[in-house]
Amino acid sequence: MDYLSFAIILAAIGVILFIGEYFLPTGGILLVCSFLLMFGAVAVIAVNTEDQRETLAAIVAMCVGVPIGGTLGIYAWGRRMALKVHDDAEIAPTGERTNGNEAESLLGRIGKTVTPMRPSGAVDFDGRRYDAISEGMLIENNVTVKCIEVKAGKLVVRQIAKPAEMKDFNMDDLLA
């Protein structure tokens, strides 16, 4: 095996480790190994050739080409992954996924806060928890609220007085 093939193999392994750091965040260990292998590839070329242009081309490829190519690749991968996200989806605090149509169906419904709204928190509509935000006011826990709007898949609620049909009754009155 000649020196140029060995240098290309070292550089290729370095590039693979460089990309691997993106998928397996190791705190920079793979990145350091990647740079050492790429430096080794340049060193192999520099030691075995008398042509300085070949060494300079290897240095430029490793120091400029790999980082720019890696950055563009990560950017393209991120854009591709971003296209898979649905704009009308909301994630409830329980981790279940709900779509925008379900959130729209809650407009005008009356529920109860599960957590304090400062101004965001969780509300309960018919036994299901949803992420919500208030109109900007702080709302305490266990308060009756009404869904007044859906913004970007997020419920907007307003505190209301408890409706007459939802009043609590005392069990002691039934037993007396």
Q: What is the mean pLDDT of residues 47-57?
A: 87
Q: At residue 174, does pLDDT exceed 50?
A: no
Q: Judging by DSSP bridges, how do beta strands 90-91 and 97-98 pair with one another?
A: antiparallel
Question: What tens digit of pLDDT does each residue of 67-125 get?
Answer: 788 788 777 777 665 555 444 444 444 444 455 567 788 888 889 999 998 888 899 98
Q: How many helices and strands in the chain, by DSSP H and E?
A: 6, 7
Question: What tens digit of pLDDT does each residue of 151-173 get?
Answer: 877 889 998 887 666 555 444 54
176 pLDDT band, cuts 50/70/90, is: very low
Question: What is residue 36's predicted lDDT score, i.e. its pLDDT?
Answer: 92
Whether 103 contacts 155, CB under 8 Å: yes
Q: At residue 13, does pLDDT exceed 90?
A: yes
Q: Which CATH superfamily is domain 90-162 in?
A: Nucleic acid-binding proteins (2.40.50.140)
Question: What is residue 79's predicted lDDT score, i.e. its pLDDT?
Answer: 63
Task: Extract the tokens encoding 103.
Answer: 């959130």
CA distance 67 to 55: 18
Distances 6 to 9, 33, 64, 162 between C-alpha atoms, Å: 5, 17, 21, 77
Domain ranges of the chain: 3-82, 90-162
Whether 128 contacts 92, CB under 8 Å: yes
Distances 96 to 88, 93, 110 between C-alpha atoms, Å: 14, 8, 21
Question: What is residue 10's predicted lDDT score, i.e. its pLDDT?
Answer: 92
